[in-house]
């Protein structure tokens, strides 16, 4: 697992560690080129930023979650950050939720930027049930990651975890993202004009940084 670390200061940790998980086939360098770090620095937010690049094999064997925990999250907690946030873009949002569904007490907050939330079959099942509050995931198979993630999302509104969800109205996954948004407080969601692209994602990221959530 490759990581880029951008500290706020050279000789001391910042208050917050933002651990950013990019989307499919997006390198850490692409995230920096899209100005995600610049948006943090321009606002003088006291945060260190890590961008994590999962290996392609992670998509099939889930070893990346263990590496993320052992190589990034646990050392961050040991260093004494006051807050540790996962930030997931597109497929990175899915990975962030997958991590939280397995290790729910290790992260202080999650920012989901246009997250991919799995296939539409489970989303349709939830919609037919009348929403997440009425939906029951049933007994889960050990490898049923998507259903486990939706079971976790179902608990978010009552969880101490701080959650921020943002997406564009024209995003190709917006219909499914709306199901998650309906299960969260309105203050935790931001929906803007835009599609599934870097311009929209950066605008959502800037909105999150300006929200005072950190």
What is the reported pLDDT for 58? 64
Residue that wins the pLDDT comparison between 140 and 150: 150
What is the reported pLDDT for 158? 84
Across the chain, which distance is largest between two alpha carbons, in Å?
A: 54
Share of the chain above pLDDT 90, in %: 79
Q: Answer whether 84's CB lies under 8 Å from 76's CB.
A: yes
Scored b (16 or more CB within 10 A) or e, 54-91 reads beeebeeeeebbeebeeebbeebeeeebebbbbbbbbb
pLDDT at residue 108 tops 90: yes
What is the reported pLDDT for 1? 82
Mean pLDDT over each residue of the chain, to the nearest integer: 93
Q: Answer whether 107's CB lies under 8 Å from 73's CB.
A: yes
pLDDT at residue 138 tops 90: no
Q: Answer whether 53's CB lies under 8 Å from 3's CB.
A: yes
pLDDT in tens, 42-99: 999 999 999 998 766 666 667 889 899 999 999 999 999 999 999 999 999 999 999 9
Write the CATH number of the domain with boundaries 2-210: 3.40.50.1820
Q: Starting at the edge strand that comes first in sequence, how are the strands of the sheet with 47-53 ordered? A: 2-6, 47-53, 16-21, 83-89, 109-113, 162-168, 189-192
Residue 85 phi, psi (nearest 5): -120, 140
In which element (H, E) is residue 79 found? Answer: helix 74-79
Instruction: Please count the other Cβ atoms lying within 10 Å of the Cβ belonging to residue 12.
Output: 8
pLDDT in tens, 180-208: 999 999 999 999 999 999 999 999 999 99
Alpha helices, H only, 11-62: 28-33, 36-42, 58-61
> Distance between CA atoms of 91 and 11, rounded to whole angstroms?
33
Share of the chain above pLDDT 70, in %: 96
What is the reported pLDDT for 61? 66
Tokens of 153: 């999302």
**Could you give the 3-state DSSP secondary structure of residue 107?**
coil
> Distance between CA atoms of 117 and 115, rounded to whole angstroms?
6
pTM value surpassing 0.85: yes
Residue that wins the pLDDT comparison between 209 and 138: 209
Q: Cα–chain-centroid distance for residue 8?
A: 21
Residues 6+ positions from 154 with CB-CB distance below 8 Å: 132, 133, 135, 137, 183
What is the reported pLDDT for 64? 85
């Amino acid at each position: 697992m490759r990581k880029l670390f951008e500290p706020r200061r050279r000789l001391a940790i910042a208050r917050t560690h933002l651990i950013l998980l990019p989307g499919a086939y997006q390198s850490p360098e692409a995230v920096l080129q899209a100005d995600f770090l610049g948006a943090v620095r321009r606002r003088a937010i006291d945060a260190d930023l890590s961008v994590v690049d999962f290996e392609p094999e992670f998509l099939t064997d889930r070893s990346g979650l263990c590496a993320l925990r052992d190589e990034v999250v646990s050392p961050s907690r040991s260093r004494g950050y006051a807050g540790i946030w996962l930030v997931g873009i597109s497929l990175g949002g899915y990975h962030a939720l997958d991590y939280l569904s397995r290790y729910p007490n290790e992260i202080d907050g999650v920012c989901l930027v246009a997250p991919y939330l799995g296939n539409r079959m489970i989303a349709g099942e939830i919609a037919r049930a009348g929403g997440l509050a009425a939906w029951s995931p049933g007994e889960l198979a050990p490898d049923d990651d998507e259903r486990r993630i939706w079971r976790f999302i179902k608990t978010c509104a009552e969880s101490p975890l701080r959650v921020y969800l943002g997406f564009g109205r024209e995003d190709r996954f917006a219909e499914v993202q709306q199901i998650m948004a309906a299960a969260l407080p309105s203050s935790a969601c931001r929906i803007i004009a835009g599609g599934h692209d870097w311009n929209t994602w950066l605008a959502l990221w800037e909105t999150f940084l300006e929200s005072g959530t950190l």
